[in-house]
Amino acid sequence: MAHAVEAEGLVKNYPGDVRALDGLSVTVGRGEILGLLGPNGAGKSTTVKILTTLVRPDAGAASVAGHDVLRRPDRVRRVIGVVSQRSGADPEASGRDNLVLQGRLYGMGGAQVRRRAAELLARFGLEDAAGRPVKTYSGGMRRRLDVALGLVHRPQVLFLDEPTTGLDPEARASMWAEIARLAGDDALAILLTTHYLDEADRLAGRLAIVDRGRVVVEGTPDSLKGELRGDAVHVEWGEPPPEPLVREALDRLPGVREVVLDGSRLSARAGDGAAAVPAVLAALDQAGVPAAAATVARPSLDDVYLRYAGRRFAQAHGADHAEALTAGSVR
């Protein structure tokens, strides 16, 4: 089996002429964390729903742990764990009872499932709260229980759909550490969807950046950032300047390339950003479009997204989230 997850050319349309997936292809290896990075509405959650047999694609093919998701959905469900955006735990039951029930749904016997529940409660730091109703848990405790529920039956592939949304920084850091251990110590294949740039950079061994239902670029976080040679130069105005004046001013500057003007913000690349900024500011002043601020930074995943998607991540997140809500919360 070459990959734990293989998807090729997935297409999914929803009512209202919404194309959630437009030929998306991904693979995930054993012991690998693949991050699907994209704004809300990019198609990440639809991809997970297809791979976990909850939604049928309109075109394309996919398999999980060697089982075709359309021909053998029953086998796929036996080998996967799923942590969705919304908790699947019963808030009235205790953490221990939730885990025991989950194990029994997968055919685990009494002593076996109780041992597994105890093991997971200890692993996720929930021993002291094991007998309490889940409704009394903090947000971080609930998410740790959600991950534990996805692991009860020892799956081969784990799907984590926006696992840290709504968590405070401390709880997010704790979840990141546990996810990394799952891939490393347990050799799980993990498909992680996220719209957090820092989460993708920290966790994913490999990234597939998704925009409007397609993978626009794929690679390790470091390799993707490394492709953007030199520094990122960012310029801001109080209000959007006339684009022709800006482009005419910067076209004359040697060493300044890949200029993208996005409203009142401009991004460009330069071999030596610190040396380029004074020349950029002087050229804009001379053109009658003086900048309000300018900064220099090493390449980031936001710069990668800008290069391949043609817009900033925050801009895409806002626009695509509004589209998703209009179309009925397609993600």
Flag whether pLDDT at 61 surpasses 50: yes
Task: Give me the residue label for tokens 């991004």.
Answer: 267
Written as six digits, the tokens of 144 are: 């740790």
pTM of the model: 0.82
CA–CA separation, 250 and 248 (whole Å): 6
CA–CA separation, 124 and 141 (whole Å): 8
CA–CA separation, 214 and 103 (whole Å): 36
The pLDDT of residue 109:
86
Flag whether pLDDT at 196 surpasses 50: yes
Mean pLDDT value of segment 186-206: 92
The pLDDT of residue 12:
97
Query: What pLDDT digit, counting tens, does each position of 88-113 carry?
Result: 899 999 999 999 999 999 999 889 99
CB 157 within 8 A of CB 4: yes
Q: Which CATH architecture has domain 5-224?
A: 3-Layer(aba) Sandwich (3.40)
Query: What pLDDT digit, counting tens, does each position of 26-56 carry?
Result: 999 999 999 999 888 899 999 999 999 999 9
Query: What pLDDT digit, counting tens, does each position of 140-179 carry?
Result: 999 999 999 999 999 999 999 989 988 888 888 888 998 9
Q: What average pLDDT does the chain have?
A: 90
The pLDDT of residue 329:
46
Query: What pLDDT digit, counting tens, does each position of 259-271 carry?
Result: 989 889 999 999 8
Break the chain into its structural domains and give their ranges: 5-224, 229-298
Spell out the CATH class of 229-298.
alpha beta
The order of strands in the sheet holding 256-262 is: 256-262, 265-270, 231-236, 293-297
Query: What pLDDT digit, counting tens, does each position of 273-296 carry?
Result: 999 999 999 999 999 999 999 999
Say what percent of the chain tops pLDDT 70.
94
The answer to whether the 5-224 and 229-298 domains have the same CATH topology is: no
229-268 as b/e: b if 16+ CB within 10 A: ebbbbbbebeeebeeeebeebbeebeebeebebeeebbbb
